[in-house]
Structure 1
Amino acid sequence: MDPDLLRRLHRDLADHYDEELELELEDRTFEELEGRPQPDDEERAWRHRYFRELLRLQGELVKLQNWVVATGHKVVIIFEGRDAAGKGGVIKRITQRLNPRVCRVAALPAPNDRERTQWYFQRYVSHLPAAGEMVLFDRSWYNRAGVERVMGFCTDDQYEEFFRSVPEFEKMLVRSGIQLIKYWFSITDDEQNIRFLGRIHDPLKQWKLSPMDLESRRRWEDYTRAKEVMLDRTHIPEAPWWVVQAVDKKRARLNCIDHLLQQMPYVDTEPPMVVLPQRERHEDYARHPVPESMMVPEKY
């Protein structure tokens, strides 16, 4: 292969993997970037291992994706947990190298006036997968058992009806051929406090803190009670809960992705061979110049 072409391919590959470094920067505060001491040998070794393992697991996720498409499997993965528990971080790492047409994220906003009059599960149903698709719910119908219960957004009757309905709803999904996997990301009181402080003092993360998030901090014990009731009343054989210890973000990501891969009997499917065709060239074609006024200034 031409040495210049090989060098350009290597550079493109390095740019691709730099995406993970950019994601890691999102998880660190300015104070850490500017003032923290250099990592010792043990920490440096762990970070190297983390990146190696993450890339390996992401390679397995690509194999899983290909198997899902080839077999027409349907998967729903629910991510629940307290605010700042790391749900978004693991979802980013799962989807980072996958085809968004196969693996997509559903992160629904608060229901509008019309949706509040519908059957409770109705707005979630439209996001369920067809054959050969994976859908990751960044929060889900379990909002009713958590934030709606704690903040008083539902009545006692609606709350009890949810617990009567959700096991039957999930059993129905499973009977229809959808595999349902549910994760709860668990962090400590102290860890959430630290992560909230990090968001408050980092201008790039302040948007992540809503008034509801701040109120959830005050009502830690109320959310704990709601979580305990939820896990107890919705942990069913057809769709059990899996708890991810998430105080250490990197370990939580690796553990969750590794566990997810074990939930499906995927195999490495042989992809079709891709042959790059030769570009057609025509003597009568001349490329039109782009006016300078349309060009984006090259400042970098």
Structure 2
Amino acid sequence: MSQNFFGKKIYSFSEILSDRIVSNYIQKTLLNVFAHLGLKKKNAEEIMGEFIALAANSKSEGEYESLAHALLEQKGIVGAVPKKLSGRADKIYSQIKEFVIFGKVLDLGCGDGEVGKLCSLKNEVILSDIYKNKNIAKTGLGFRIFGQGEKVPADDCEFSNVLLLTVLHHSDNPLQVLKEAVRVAKSGGRIIVIESVYGASGKELGGKAKKDAENYCALNLEQQRKAGIFFDHFYNRVIHYSAESKTKVNVPFNFNTPLGWKKLFEENGLVQEKAVHLGIDQPIVPEYHTLHVLRKV
């Protein structure tokens, strides 16, 4: 049985979809994603049926990724994604900016570097990731590459802020990455984490955010984790498909609960100063997010 870093089972897509409640949630959520990308209801329902069949019946994960991406590309869904994602960095920056203190920033696991670029309006920023996204050069920011399991290429106590924005659950060893973030942060410095979580009740949310997350929050703990596996893979491996292994987004599904993350942070020299439930705040990435504002002791 395949397990993640925390010893939790990694379900196959056929296992996930055999859970009727989870399958119904996934199908409804996919219809919402497709509608957000401009598809009419009838077309969305037809594509969703084909998509679910591929997820349930493909012989391998690689076959599913390739065939599902080709389906979404043929139907114009993949092409609609960049425009809909154009404001994603602005939204994330708006969520974290009040917590970034004066001083040097390391955006660890920076992706396309757009959030780091926004941070650079007020702070010196260094970007770092396991491969260099083609957009990095456009940011004009310094970039340092590091590999899974390697030390972050930075000095001890070099940064006043370290950003880990939906990074830890993509790491083969999230504890090692966290320890590296602590190492390179100054004493009293900030580590700002956004994570995809399960075990959410939604009680911390209000208004539209509460409504958007109500179906997810109606799932039990393990059902939420199953849905997280499906949609983390959907966004990172199907929508953003790559045939080359070196540019595939790593998806070890190392999700945790908000309290589980807090415990891990506090066991590794950090104080959680604030936790904010963001809910399902990205329509194309239907995962429940929490923001953790941490201080290095």
Q: Could you say which structure has the greater relative contact order, defined with CA pairs below 8 angstroms and 6 or more residues apart?
A: 1
TM-score normalized by the length of structure 2: 0.35
Instruction: Work out which of the two has the higher radius of gyration on C-alpha atoms and give 1 or 2.
Output: 1
Which TM-score applies when normalising by structure 1? 0.34
